[in-house]
Amino acid sequence: MTAVLIGLIVLPLAWATLAFLLGPGRGAVPAIVALAVQLGLAATLAHGVSVDGALVHPVGGWGAPLGIELAADGLSAAMLLLNQAIALPLAIYARAYFAADDPAGRHFWPLAGFLVAGLNALFLAADLFNLYVTLELVGLAAVGLVAAGGGTQQVAAALRYLFATLLGSGAYLLAVALVYGAYGTVSIATLLPLVTAEAPRLILIAGALAGIGLALKTALFPFHFWLPPAHGSAPAPVSALLSALVVKASFYLILRLWLGPFAPLAAAADWLPATLGAAAIFWGSWQAIRAVKLKRLIAYSTVAQLGYLFLIFPLLAQTGALQAGVMQVFAHGLAKAGMFAAAGVIIKATGQDTVAGLAGVVERLPVTLFAFGLAGMTLMGLPPSSGFLAKWLLIEAALAQGAWIIAIVALAGGLLAAIYIFRVLRQAFLLAPEGGDVAPVPRTLEWTAFALSATSVLLGLRGVELMRLVGSGG
Amino acid sequence: MTTNEWLPLAVLASSLMPGLMIFALPESRVGLRTLLNLAGALAKLALVVILIAGVAAGERYGVRFAVLPGVDLAFKVDALGLLFMTLSTILWLLTTLYAIGYLEGAPHRRRFFGFFSLCVTATMGISMAANLFTFFIFYELLTLSTFPLVVHRGTGKAMRGGTIYLAYTLAGGTALLTGIVWLNHLLGHTEFADAGILAGLGSEHAGSLKIIFVLLIAGVGVKAALFPLHGWLPQAMVAPAPVSALLHAVAVVKAGAFGIVRIVDEIYGPEFAQSLGLLQPLAVLAAITIVWGSCRALFQDDLKKRLAFSTVSQVSYITLGVAIFGPLGTIGGLVHLVHQGIMKITLFFCAGNYAETLGIHKVSEMNGVGRRMPLTTLAFSIGALGMMGVPLTAGAISKIWLSDGARAAGMEWAVWVLWTSSLLNAAYFLPILWRAWTRPAPLAWPEEHIPARSWRETALLLLLPPLFTAAATVAAGLFPDAAATPLAWARLIAESEYQMRIAP
């Protein structure tokens, strides 16, 4: 099992380096092959954790507090599985998306490799400082991917993104420094018994700093300002990676800290994230309903969908709340990757990025529109999709706690999502305008988008294994 | 897996698989598509025959899969589900034939038949759902798979109809989901069972259970077009005739009515629902819908809209029957589930024939159409007379049982509602028949697409399905006491819901 942990970090670093050495625009095939292996590794790990419980590996034989430890419990195994499961189809998609001489794709492969490596390492890191390092790696690779498009709009969006991500990780680093100053350790396991409800005020400040910094990186309302331009202007495969995976990394970290070392302090503030999450759902949905551009609409939908993740915080005492969160991470990750991929196909084919320009798409790109519709089903939380299971678990946990308001917000959010999703589908079902021909697109693009969306729906028919995995070794 | 576990899944697959294959076929493969459609419909019919024989012999069919810890995707085949399943299966076969004739040469047939098959799959899932969770999954799938059919023509008007349809059904679905999760929270499961599952819950939950009842009925009431949630149905008539016929006369509205039956009889149980005082308000609501739908139908000149308001009225007979406490009313409601289906589909088939053959869309254009299209008009007349409850038609049987049930339950007013409705039905159907049979035909029809050839007034595939269902309407009225009629089956179901023997 140790080899699995190491492999998940070293393999993406290897193909990123190889792609860098091969030169601009190259290195797709090794990346895809390696990602397939990584997916196998992640599945093995998930199975192992599910059967034997959490595992810890001291790198080089040096355990905490001196050395670096890698740890995998149910939560991290689930995140790793999702990470590879989304990155693999997106890599296949990106290979077909970026033409050989496309300037936007020149630096895609090395940056994507570092991104995946950073994410995998983040999910395995067992101490606060390593988490910082991996967080920074992910953030910088993501900014690079947005900027690699090269247009003025993209560079502007990337700069804004860079500012947000650096500010966020800076605040987090400060929090880590405060914690180290107070307790002399950054290992999560060692910190667990040390932090109590009577912790010094400095630790409260550290918790607040870490929370704000990570909320900024997760684009939780009202810190979402950087997300729509960055996700809306990047090339489709990049938007998909960012929306599906990168924002989830900082959410994962919030969850880790909230459930782990900061648990004694967090209980007092549990309605704050939920309130902001509810605001995100309403604000993001409202902006998506009004959006003129297709990718902007999808990006604002991400703002809204991230809101659901924060609704679970007051409910974490209930069984099923954590599962609801992880199910929502899966649902949104798969569906949003599929949706951005589908939008990329539509934009490539019709040459325009507006909702109004979609008329007749149902005749010309039926598979892609089907993919969009399936992803939409998940985002609306309609059965039988993973989004529906997430909603079901969330409402059930809310009822068990008597927190009616959370159930109502989740249900209302589903209806709002229906408005913006069907805004797109309605337009696509309109009769095609005369003479508006579409450019041919590679079939790989259409079918990878379809595969991602279909997975998000099919997961809704069988959530037991995932639930068991999340419940194990937490 | 045993055969008894496989069969319910095979029923689903027999329309799901053809649907998916049709999506994969190119638009031009007309022959293969037709073959897939018919093979699926016939296979399903064969499966249903096996299931009926099995259930009648006391065999149990069912299968379940865990979706979440403690929440199962569960199917079972019972007498009540089979009633709805058989109705949908037979009418699916007929509608497929009809649609092949109706859409000949039209664009986007692949999309049409693909989603059509998905709709039928959803209907089958609804009929076989063994708990509310599974019911909800297929109930929402039905909403989603009908949307592309409602907006099939791709015009602005179709989009408006589709949007209104979605607004109503998705909002209803949200209410339904709330009720289901709440129920699951109180009880730990939502399995359907004869005579209900809630009676054991303590009296301290009575308040919650009443609110849950309102949520659940509001959720399924949207599809059952229960007043004031019926606004989508007339708007959805922008869809092509086969869609209006099967989905908006049978599958969608019946899914709602069937949901009401399941919720009242197998979640709450009639006795417990009565003790909570829930049946009386439901009966009143159904009565209002019956009268209101008929009144609105009086003033519609558009033929399909008049039929749609008539559906609003007639589907609530089922709700009324369920809400009348006592087995007789339940029998009346259940038998009407089938009878209304065959009568209303006849009327919609005929309306489609008028539109497709002569371009007639309005009642005011129907003068003398009986001489140009005697067979279609004959079928239309039988359907209309059945709706009024004229003796020797299926409608009369429903009405007798409903009236008897109402009297037995001491609800004389419901008998008056039924009589009023019959009068109103006559008031909006008889003028049509009068026009069609006795008024002189105009010099030219609005748009004659299909010329008459000897006795064939229109395409054969358009003509045979309504004749068949019209014949079934008469047969059900003439021989209500035969062995395999809907009535006999409804009696069997009512006996198990009320757990008593019912004398014929």
Q: Nearest Cα to B15, choosing from B88, B113, B121, B94?
A: B121
Of A366, A383, A422, which has the smallest distance from its Cβ to B136's Cβ?
A383
* A395 vs B contacts (CB less than 8 Å): 177-178, 181
The reply to whether residue B141 touches residue A431, judged by beta carbons under 8 angstroms, is no
Q: How far is residue A242's CA from residue A236's CA, in Å, rounded to a whole number? A: 10
- Using pLDDT thresholds of 50, 70 and 90, give the confidence band for residue B503: low
User: Best mutation site among A423, A464, A465, A466 for testing chain B: the one with the most B CBs within 10 Å?
Assistant: A464
- Using pLDDT thresholds of 50, 70 and 90, give the confidence band for residue A436: low
Surface of A (230-289) touching B: CB under 8 A: none
Residue of A nearest to B184 (CA): A396
- A383: contact with B, CB 8 A cutoff: yes
Q: Nearest Cα to B356, choosing from B231, B451, B439?
A: B451
Across the range A353-376, mean pLDDT stands at 89
- Angstrom CA distances, B426 to A432, B295, B431, B433, stand at 44, 11, 8, 10
Residue of A nearest to B158 (CA): A430
* pLDDT at A63 (0 to 100): 67
CA distance A74 to chain B (A): 16
* pLDDT at B450 (0 to 100): 80
Of A377, A399, A460, which has the smallest distance from its Cβ to B144's Cβ?
A377
User: Best mutation site among B134, B140, B153, B183 for testing chain A: the one with the most A CBs within 10 Å?
Assistant: B140
pLDDT at A394 over 80: yes
Question: What string of H, E and C letters represents the secondary structure of B166-219?
Answer: HHHHHHHHHHHHHHHHHHHHHHCCCECCCCCCCCCCCHHHHHHHHHHHHHHHHH
What is the phi-psi region of residue B44: left when phi exceeds 0, alpha when psi lies from -120 to 50, beta otherwise?
Answer: alpha
CA distance A169 to chain B (A): 36
Across the range A136-155, mean pLDDT stands at 88
Q: How far is residue B391's CA from residue B389's CA, in Å, rounded to a whole number? A: 6
The reply to whether residue A400 touches residue B185, judged by beta carbons under 8 angstroms, is yes
Residue of B nearest to A386 (CA): B67
User: Best mutation site among A391, A396, A408, A421 for testing chain B: the one with the most B CBs within 10 Å?
Assistant: A396
CB pairs under 8 A between A and B: 82
What is the phi-psi region of residue A436: left when phi exceeds 0, alpha when psi lies from -120 to 50, beta otherwise?
Answer: beta
The reply to whether residue A463 touches residue B68, judged by beta carbons under 8 angstroms, is yes
pLDDT at B232 over 80: yes
pLDDT at A474 over 50: no
Which residues contact residue A113 at a Cβ distance below 8 angstroms, ignoring those fewer than 6 apart? A12, A13, A15, A16, A17, A19, A27, A31
Burial A165-204 (b: 16+ CB within 10 A, else e): bbbbbebbbebbbbbeebbebbbbbbbeeebeeebeeebe
Of all residues in chain A, the percent with pLDDT exceeding 70 is 98
Q: What is the DSSP string of A201-234?
A: HHHHHHHHHHHHHHHHHHT-TTS-TTHHHHHHHS
Q: Nearest Cα to B320, choosing from B368, B274, B288?
A: B288
pLDDT at B360 over 90: no
| Tokens coding B419 | 């009589």
DSSP three-state, residue B77 = strand
**Other CB atoms within 10 A of residue B200 CB:** 8
Surface of A (362-381) touching B: CB under 8 A: 362-363, 366, 370, 377, 380
* B65 vs A contacts (CB less than 8 Å): 461-462
What is the phi-psi region of residue B405: left when phi exceeds 0, alpha when psi lies from -120 to 50, beta otherwise?
Answer: alpha
β-bridge pairing A55-58 and B61-68: unpaired
Q: How far is residue B126's CA from residue B75's CA, in Å, rounded to a whole number? A: 9
* B170 vs A contacts (CB less than 8 Å): 380, 415, 418
Burial (Cβ within 10 Å: 0-12, 13-18, ≥19) of residue A155: middle
Of A370, A395, A425, which has the smallest distance from its Cβ to B181's Cβ?
A395
Q: What is the DSSP string of B468-481?
A: HHHHHHHHHHH-TT
- Residues B406-457 pLDDT 10s: 988 888 899 999 999 999 999 999 999 999 998 888 888 888 888 777 777 8
Of A370, A383, A396, which has the smallest distance from its Cβ to B137's Cβ?
A383
Of B148, B163, B174, which has the smallest distance from its Cβ to A414's Cβ?
B174
Of A411, A429, A468, which has the smallest distance from its Cβ to B148's Cβ?
A429
The reply to whether residue B68 touches residue A467, judged by beta carbons under 8 angstroms, is yes
- What mean pLDDT value characterizes chain A? 91
* pLDDT at A450 (0 to 100): 95
Across the range B121-137, mean pLDDT stands at 94
Contact A350, A358 (CB under 8 A): yes
| Tokens coding A421 | 């999703």
Contact B196, B272 (CB under 8 A): yes
Contact B366, B267 (CB under 8 A): no
- Residues A19-61 pLDDT 10s: 999 988 888 999 999 999 999 999 999 999 998 888 888 877 7
Q: What is the DSSP string of B206-274?
A: HHHHHHHHHHHHHHHHHHTT-TTS-THHHHGGGS-HHIIIIIIIIIHHHHHHHHHHIIIIIII-HHHHH
| Tokens coding B9 | 């899944």
Q: Nearest Cα to B98, choosing from B358, B311, B348?
A: B348
pLDDT at A435 over 70: no
Surface of A (421-450) touching B: CB under 8 A: 422, 425-426, 429-431
- Angstrom CA distances, B77 to A52, B51, B192, stand at 40, 8, 12
Q: How far is residue A359's CA from residue A346's CA, in Å, rounded to a whole number? A: 11
Please tell me the least confidently modeled range out of A335-344, B144-153, B234-243: B234-243
pLDDT at A196 over 90: no
- B140: contact with A, CB 8 A cutoff: yes
Q: Nearest Cα to A109, choosing from A148, A155, A77, A162?
A: A148
What is the phi-psi region of residue B117: left when phi exceeds 0, alpha when psi lies from -120 to 50, beta otherwise?
Answer: alpha
ipTM of the complex: 0.92
**Other CB atoms within 10 A of residue B439 CB:** 14
- Residues B177-194 pLDDT 10s: 999 999 999 988 899 988
The reply to whether residue A429 touches residue B154, judged by beta carbons under 8 angstroms, is yes
Q: How far is residue B458's CA from residue B377's CA, in Å, rounded to a whole number? A: 12
Residue of A nearest to B171 (CA): A415
The reply to whether residue B163 touches residue A422, judged by beta carbons under 8 angstroms, is yes
B63 beta partners: B75
Long-range contacts of A257-261 (CB under 8 A, 24+ apart): A257/A207, A257/A210, A257/A211, A257/A214, A258/A313, A258/A316, A259/A316, A259/A322, A259/A474, A260/A188, A260/A191, A260/A192, A261/A128, A261/A179, A261/A188, A261/A191, A261/A192, A261/A194, A261/A195
Q: How far is residue B86's CA from residue B113's CA, in Å, rounded to a whole number? A: 20
Residue the block writes with tokens 């990337």: A158
The answer, yes or no, to whether the previous bond of A366 is cis (omega within 30 of 0) is no
What residue ranges in B54-119 does DSSP mark as E strands? Answer: 61-68, 71-77
Sign of CA dihedral A439, A443, A447, A448: negative
Q: Directed axis angle between helix B412-438 and helix B394-408, to 10°?
A: 160
The reply to whether residue B68 touches residue A389, judged by beta carbons under 8 angstroms, is yes
* A421 vs B contacts (CB less than 8 Å): none
Of all residues in chain B, the percent with pLDDT exceeding 90 is 42
The reply to whether residue A382 touches residue B144, judged by beta carbons under 8 angstroms, is yes
CA distance B181 to chain A (A): 6
The reply to whether residue B178 touches residue A411, judged by beta carbons under 8 angstroms, is yes
Across the range A186-197, mean pLDDT stands at 87
- What mean pLDDT value characterizes chain B? 88
For residue B208, how far is the Cα from the chain centroid?
30
B65 beta partners: B73
pTM to 2 decimal places: 0.93
pLDDT at A18 over 90: yes
Of B141, B162, B170, which has the smallest distance from its Cβ to A426's Cβ?
B162
CA atoms within 13 A on the CB side of B251: 31
The reply to whether residue B111 touches residue A411, judged by beta carbons under 8 angstroms, is no
The reply to whether residue A463 touches residue B140, judged by beta carbons under 8 angstroms, is no
pLDDT at A238 over 90: yes
* B156 vs A contacts (CB less than 8 Å): 430
What is the phi-psi region of residue B218: left when phi exceeds 0, alpha when psi lies from -120 to 50, beta otherwise?
Answer: alpha
- A20: contact with B, CB 8 A cutoff: no
- Using pLDDT thresholds of 50, 70 and 90, give the confidence band for residue A165: very high
Of B66, B108, B136, which has the smallest distance from its Cβ to A464's Cβ?
B66
Higher local confidence (pLDDT), A413 or A431: A413
pLDDT at A438 over 80: no
* A382 vs B contacts (CB less than 8 Å): 140, 144, 173
Residue of B nearest to A384 (CA): B137
- B16: contact with A, CB 8 A cutoff: no
**Other CB atoms within 10 A of residue B266 CB:** 23
Domain extent listing, chain A: 270-474
Q: Nearest Cα to B327, choosing from B193, B495, B110?
A: B495
The reply to whether residue B69 touches residue A464, judged by beta carbons under 8 angstroms, is yes
CA distance A194 to chain B (A): 35
For residue A358, how far is the Cα from the chain centroid?
27
pLDDT at A390 over 80: yes
Sign of CA dihedral B38, B39, B41, B45: positive
Please tell me the least confidently modeled range out of A329-333, A364-368, B56-60, B124-128: B56-60
Q: Nearest Cα to A304, choosing from A237, A376, A383, A199?
A: A376
What residue ranges in A6-114 does DSSP mark as E strands? Answer: 55-58, 69-72
- Using pLDDT thresholds of 50, 70 and 90, give the confidence band for residue A80: very high
CA distance B75 to chain A (A): 14
DSSP three-state, residue A241 = helix
**Other CB atoms within 10 A of residue B423 CB:** 11
Q: What is the DSSP string of B383-409?
A: HHHHHHT-TTSHHHHHHHHHHHHHHHT
